[in-house]
Structure 1
Amino acid sequence: MAESYGNQRNRKYVITNRHHFEVEVSNTVLDMQLQELGSRFSEVSTSLIENMSGLNPCNSFAKFDISKIVKFSEMYPNDFNKEERGVLAGDLSTFYHTLKEDDKFANLTGLSDLARVMVETRKNETFPLVYRTLKLALVLPVATATVERCFSKMKLIKTDLRNRMGDEYLNNALICAVEKESFCKVKEEDVMARFQAFKNRRGELI
């Protein structure tokens, strides 16, 4: 790796193979990966996921954090008004001390288990604000992944050569691209039968 890289006659400084792969290749690839991660996981998404972790029930609620959960609710102004956010902190404290004394909440492995046991024990009716926060946390990963998939596919479908694509056609193309697994299950015979059932055109195509 200590040998000179390339033709040194046309270079002002001597570059070794090690310097080329560590600086010019490796750093360039790392920068590209960091830019891709930064575009996919924005600051808002990262804050949502970080604050959502305050509801983690694993290890007997070892990571339960009321301040993070309250910040999580503040990021949903349409679901929590100012009064409800003020009450939520007190409800979370009571909720935490209540669950610590209940054996049914001792060995939970995730948010879905917490929501299930809350419904079974009717704690969702006792702590409606906590349960509403939990439902938003459960929906967040699915919603975030779906939105990211749609934007990624849209970059591939609506290119510079197809920038005049209408909204309806774009929507149909996105559905086919995002739900590719579902469309693979559709039989070709069914598609042919559907098109054959359409009414005849006014003019014949030559």
Structure 2
Amino acid sequence: MQLDVAVDLLTKAKTSLTNYRIGFTSAQVSAKDMCEKMNVEAVLKEKRLRSTKRHFAYGAADEPIADAMKRLEIIFFNVVVDTTIQSLTDRFKTLSEVRDQFGVLVNFQKLDDQSLNNQCDKLCKTLTSGNESDIDGKELAMEVKHLPSLPSDEMTALELLTFIHKKHFEELYPNLWVALRIACTLPVTVASAERSFSKLKLIKTYLRSSMGQERLSGLAIISINHEVGKDVLYEDIIDDFASKKARKQRF
């Protein structure tokens, strides 16, 4: 998934959960409808509250809630939704910061000249390692300003990259071409890396302990992209391999 698309989906999910936070009544109606479909009685059991004698203190605990529905809303519903919203904010905070650094690649049409130059310089510093940089910030700003008319005002990084590739504009906009390729290859999650390690245990068994690194990498790629591997014609590969390895025989 693309980085900018993932952040937009997460933002919409957070907004939806925030609106759902104050919609306990609608959630209650949905739960009753589900109970009717499942032939379950939609009634909360009233729990008998114990009354204990307490001495007055400023740090005393709150009085228990007698209403079962109100207790469900405060103790369970609000806690679950608040925890989910906070988890989204904490886990994907860095992802949003990275999206903001590459945001100039998709929001350049909404920026003025000064903001465009500042964000291009910021992206140039982000893509700098030591004294070498992948792009030039000033040239990137000039390339973005002189882009031809685009098919849509709101395009994702991948759509803009595809447009430049189809029009063969790689040499005309080299800095934009490099920046877009980097933005489109940024990982959204670490699921791919975790999947690689999980596949590695299935490939490199004790019977293959002497396997080389090149063969191990090749088998891992075939195992991860098994859907693509099913469409490969192995007979052609075998014939090609045999033709290169065949020894000439003199008659």
Give the TM-score normalised by the residue count of structure 1: 0.54
Aligned partner of residue 139 in structure 2, secondary structure: helix
Are 2:152 and 1:107 aligned? yes
* Residue from 99, 109, 116 that aligns with 2:162: 116
Give the counterpart letter for 1:133 in structure 2.
Answer: A
Give the counterpart letter for 1:123 in structure 2.
Answer: F
Q: Distance in 1 between matches of 2:100 and 2:75?
A: 34
Structure 1, unaligned runs of 5 or more: 158-166, 187-206
Are 2:136 and 1:91 aligned? no
1:50 counterpart residue number: 100
Q: Distance in 2 between matches of 1:6 and 1:171?
A: 55
* Residue from 76, 79, 89 that aligns with 1:25: 76
Aligned partner of residue 170 in structure 2, secondary structure: helix
Q: Distance in 2 between matches of 1:90 and 1:22?
A: 55
Q: 1:23 to 1:106 in 2, by over 3 A?
A: same
2:172 counterpart residue number: 126
Q: Distance in 2 between matches of 1:30 and 1:153?
A: 33
Q: Percent identity, aligned pairs only?
A: 15
Tell whether the 8 Å contact from 1:48 to 1:72 is kept in structure 2 after alignment: no
Structure scoring higher RCO (CA < 8 A, sep ≥ 6) equals 2
2:50 counterpart residue number: 9
Tell whether the 8 Å contact from 2:125 to 2:133 is kept in structure 1 after alignment: no
Aligned partner of residue 144 in structure 1, secondary structure: coil
Deviations 1:109-130 (A, max 9, x none): 3322322332344432233222
Q: Distance in 2 between matches of 1:68 and 1:50?
A: 9
Tell whether the 8 Å contact from 2:161 to 2:180 is kept in structure 1 after alignment: yes
Aligned partner of residue 146 in structure 2, secondary structure: helix
Are 2:130 and 1:75 aligned? no
Structure 2, unaligned runs of 5 or more: 1-27, 29-43, 54-62, 206-219, 231-251
Structure 1 residue 24, shift from structure 2 partner: 0.9
Give the counterpart letter for 1:113 in structure 2.
Answer: E
Rg (Cα) greater in structure: 2
Structure 1 residue 11, shift from structure 2 partner: 6.0
**Equivalent residues in 2 for 1:57-68, closer than 5 Å:** 61-62=109-110, 66=116, 67-68=118-119
* Residue from 85, 91, 103 that aligns with 1:34: 85
